[in-house]
Amino acid sequence: MTTHSRLLAAVLLALSSACGAPEAAFQVRETVQQLYVTHAPAGATLEVLRHGKVVTTGVADERGALVVRNLEAGDGYLVKVQGAKEQSRALTVKSVESSTPKRELYTGQKLVAGFNYLTMRDGTKLSAWVTLPRGRGPFPTVVNYSGYAASRPGQPIKDFEFLCDDFPVVCATPQDASALFAGMMDYATVSVNMRGTGCSGGAYDYFETLQLLDGYDVIETVAAQDWVMHHQVGMVGLSYPGISQLFVGAQRPPGLAAIAPMSVIGSTTTTLLPGGILNDGFALSWVKNVLSKAVPYGQGWEQARVDAGDETCRENQLLHGQLVDNVAQARQIVFHEPDQHDRFDPTNFVGRIEVPVFLTGAWQDEQTGPYFFLLFDKFTGSDAVRLTAINGVHVDGFAPEVLAEWHAFLELFVARRVPRDPVTFRNFSPFIFDEVFKSKQTMPKTRWSSFASRDEAVAAWKAEPRLNVIFESGAGDERDLGAPRGTFTHGFRSWPPEGLKPFVLYFQPDGALSGSVPAPLAPPSRFLHDPMAGSRGILGMGGDVWAKLPRYEWGEPVAERAVVFEGGAVPQPTVLLGTASVDLWLQSPVDDADLQVTLSEVRADGKEVYLQSGWLRAGHRAPGPDATEFWPAQTFSRAAWAPLPPNAWAQVRIGTAGFAHVLRPGSKVRVTVDTPGGTRADWRFANKPFSSEVAYLVGHDAEHPSRVVLPTIENVAVPSMTPPCPSLRGQPCRDARAHVNLTGPGR
């Protein structure tokens, strides 16, 4: 459309509005690339016009709401009911750039202890729960931002009301544990429900642009409060409110002081589609759970607010039915499409984060998964980064030794002072850890309080290694096995660690692993695809993966449905740290294979301990441009996809997720190759179905030398004692039993 015709259309639109077209009874809010319609006739077809032409239509839901998405930014829009004369006023759809608000939006809002609403740049109101410590402030302040019930009004913790004078947060408890802990350490806390959840306005869509802009606005609004120390805030949270920090931090709000994400994803793809295979266990159940609670009144507590007279919460429920079906979206993903999926992959944008970062993850995390290590070398925009990795499960970001360093980080970079020991909280911490871990540990004293100034403490903090690895968590206290305490910690200045050496072991025809290339003409091993594997987990009936010693039922490999290769005993302590690559030569009668490789330790005492697994749909096998001998770095792109050549040999490299483990003298490495499943507590795998039995061949001859490349690191002092079995968190233990591989046809 020419400039002249656009002007003419705009004039005609204005004239039609002025010459008798009735004003709509429904309401329209202009927002970024979207229009929000409410109070329309239920079931009515609504037309969206621009410069007099219909660009799209939609049907108002049972609450009279419609969200019109993916609109081109600009003016000349209006909305009308199809077949009726009533229409909206002239509308402008905002771009990200044009949506930037004046500073007064932030400085003009006043938040108080208790329940609040924060107004976003498009007028949408988000619900928030605020707690303040004793005194008049200003207080160091942290923000928790998620689609969980973050802003649900807090209630007293039963039986601990006697602490309310010392810890007001105990009688106004935030719903997130990290916010509660920060509140008990004399921080102000602000817990905010994302757009489309709880009592917040708008409609939910997983990390859409509006959620990120809201995060920016939340930080700036909170930072502007009179009671906020330095007018800058930190962000805290484990899992969802941990992941959200990565997205918000990349928006670089000026009021953000630091982020402390715990138990996060590496990318959405690595949790949703590990190895290109749909995780229809935790990943889909999490999305379903969030969506089921993002519908009107879905979290359950909103109705009480409305019944008590909260008209804003009532009005905000109108749009909740317009949430995006992220489950259907997830099921449609087959390839990584950069234009669609890069925005959900933190490895692409955490380099934009400029504030200090404290990130923790557990190698065997049963929920968000073990791929957080993909972020370790990506925080290039900040000169203050501390990464902590620990064997264990999802909740282990709250392990006492981790929490002590978390507190020191907040003191240094949010409160901006020499870390002081939170004596009262530390004295109370055995009760907290008993609730979380069933272990009455005490949070360690801060090791930072002796510095004369904050500058000296920060300099010392930055001088320490960037990555801290806690080894053998669960075995650190022989009187309390399974409790989250490591036997030792070691620091590394980079990821992958400097000095990493490959320990290469080749598959042998007799099921051994050896440093020698196998002989020519050796017949391959054979295993059958297991159609039931994807539905199997490792927890026994009623088992709790967060227990100190969970009731694991880690099943033995089924004889005909797995191949197992075992190395010789190591003569000295061997530290494994990083990712391993299992480089298979595979022959398949069909054009694809869903594959799982599992590393375990067979100890001198006859016990087998789980280390880590990796997964791959073989059509994605092409190594990516960032591949190393330890990590194939597949892109999972459409362009890289290649079917397996039926009945011909193909190399398939499968990278395990990151792990850290110590092999004591006499221990052996075992590699199991089978169908994905039976190695995770909460993940399940939608493996490819086949119409008949499928048998795969694994080559181990000179022409097809399958092997494993293990990551070893030297000059790490380790305790001599082998951890009891079971004891290591997240690492099941069982009696080691011999496995005899089936032999395939000869070459």
Give tens-digit pLDDT for 417-453: 999 999 989 998 999 999 999 999 999 999 999 999 9
- Which of helix, strand or coil describes residue 440? coil
CA angle (576 as vertex; 499, 732 as ends), nearest 5? 165
| pLDDT value at residue 157 | 82
Give tens-digit pLDDT for 564-613: 999 999 999 999 999 999 999 999 999 999 999 999 999 999 999 999 99
Alpha-carbon torsion 486, 489, 495, 501, what sign?
A: negative
- CB proximity list for 426: less than 8 A, separation 6 or greater: 442, 443, 445
Residues in the chain where the model's pLDDT stays below 50: 1-20, 747
Please state, in angstroms and rounded to a whole number, the distance separating the CA atoms of residues 102 and 109. Answer: 13
Alpha-carbon torsion 162, 168, 172, 173, what sign?
A: negative
User: b vs e for 104-136, b when ≥16 Cβ sit within 10 Å of the residue's Cβ?
Assistant: ebbeebebeeebbbbbbbbebbbbbbbbbbeee
Q: Do 194 and 293 touch, CB atoms closer than 8 A? A: no
Please state, in angstroms and rounded to a whole number, the distance separating the CA atoms of residues 606 and 602. Answer: 7
Q: Which of 721, 701, 702, 296 is nearest to 510 (CA)?
A: 701
Give the ranges where 384-467 is alpha helix by DSSP (H). 400-410, 423-437, 454-463
Please state, in angstroms and rounded to a whole number, the distance separating the CA atoms of residues 403 and 413. Answer: 15
Burial of 311 (0-12, 13-18, 19+ CB in 10 A): exposed
| Phi, psi dihedral angles at 133 (to 5 degrees) | -70, 180
CATH of domain 3-98: 2.60.40
Give the ranges where 265-310 is alpha helix by DSSP (H). 268-272, 282-292, 302-307
| pLDDT value at residue 19 | 42
Same fold, 3-98 and 501-743: no
| Phi, psi dihedral angles at 486 (to 5 degrees) | -85, 165
Altogether, the residues listed in the chain come to a count of: 747
* Three-state DSSP string of 569-627: CCCCCEEEEECCEEEEEEECCCCCCEEEEEEEEECCCCEEEEEEEEEEEHHHCCCCCCC
Question: Do strands 91-93 and 74-81 pair parallel, antiparallel, or not at all (unpaired)?
Answer: antiparallel
Q: Which of 378, 382, 381, 204 is nearest to 294 (CA)?
A: 204
Please state, in angstroms and rounded to a whole number, the distance separating the CA atoms of residues 510 and 107. Answer: 72
* Fold (CATH) for 501-743: Jelly Rolls (2.60.120)
- Which of helix, strand or coil describes residue 291? helix
List strand residue ranges (DSSP E) for 404-539, in order: 467-471, 488-492, 501-507, 513-514, 525-528
Q: Do 239 and 262 touch, CB atoms closer than 8 A? A: yes
Q: Do 653 and 275 touch, CB atoms closer than 8 A? A: no
Please state, in angstroms and rounded to a whole number, the distance separating the CA atoms of residues 279 and 685. Answer: 5
Q: Which of 408, 465, 394 is nearest to 436 (CA)?
A: 394
List strand residue ranges (DSSP E) for 181-297, in order: 188-193, 233-238, 256-262
Integer angstrom CA distances of residue 418 from 140, 235, 354, 453, 462: 13, 19, 22, 6, 14
Give tens-digit pLDDT for 147-189: 999 999 998 887 778 878 878 898 999 999 999 999 999 999 9
Question: Do strands 467-471 and 385-390 pair parallel, antiparallel, or not at all (unpaired)?
Answer: parallel
Q: What is the dihedral of CA 16, 17, 20, 23, to 10 degrees?
A: 140
Instruction: Delimit the domains of the chain by residue range.
Output: 3-98, 501-743
CA angle (123 as vertex; 118, 126 as ends), nearest 5? 30
Alpha-carbon torsion 443, 449, 453, 457, what sign?
A: negative
